[in-house]
Amino acid sequence: MHKFKITFEKNDLKSRELAAVLESAGFGSAEKYLGVAEFSRKFFPPGTVGVFAFDAESQKLVGFARAFTDEIFTTYISEVCVCPRYQKRGIGTDLVKELKQRFSQTAIFAEAFEGNTSIFSSNHIVQKEKLVVCSRAPCMTA
C-alpha cells in the first residue's frame, strides 16, 4: 500500500509539478499555467494556504488543496486536485481534513462538482439549501 505525506510546507514546490497536477485533474492546461511568470508563487499569494500530498516513495506531488482565508471568520476551499491515478485512496479527504483542522475557528465554504461531494461531506462540510454558487468563465486574452 502506498504511503503519502501530507504537509503545509511549500518551500520546494515546483511550478511544473503544480501545473501537472492541475492539468491531470481537469483544471486546464499545464502549458498555460507555466506561461505565467512565477506561477507557483502567484498561485499562493498572501491569504492563501495550500496543503500538499506527496508520494512517500517518489516524493512526487500527487495532490493539493488550496484555500483563501482571513483566519478569523471565513475560509473558502477553492480547489482540491488529486492526480487521477492516486484518486480513490482518501488523499482528497485527508487534504480537506487538514484544512478543516487548521481553520477550525472559521466557517468553511467549498464548491464541488456534482457527484464529487464526498470529500467534503466526510469532513462534515455539507450542502446548504440557501446557498447558490455564481460564476463566470475567465477572460481569455491573446
Beta bridge partner(s), residue 108: 75
> Per residue in 48-103, pLDDT tens?
999 999 999 999 999 999 999 999 999 999 999 999 999 999 999 999 999 999 99
Phi-psi category of 25—alpha, beta or left, where left has phi over 0 and alpha has psi -120 to 50?
alpha
Q: Does 142 score more than 80 pLDDT? A: no
Classify the C-alpha dihedral 36-62-86-124 as positive or negative: negative
> Per residue in 106-136, pLDDT tens?
999 988 777 777 777 777 778 778 777 777 7
- Of 3.40.50.720, 3.30.70.1290, 1.10.3720.10, 3.40.630.30, the CATH number of 4-121 is 3.40.630.30
pTM across the whole model: 0.86
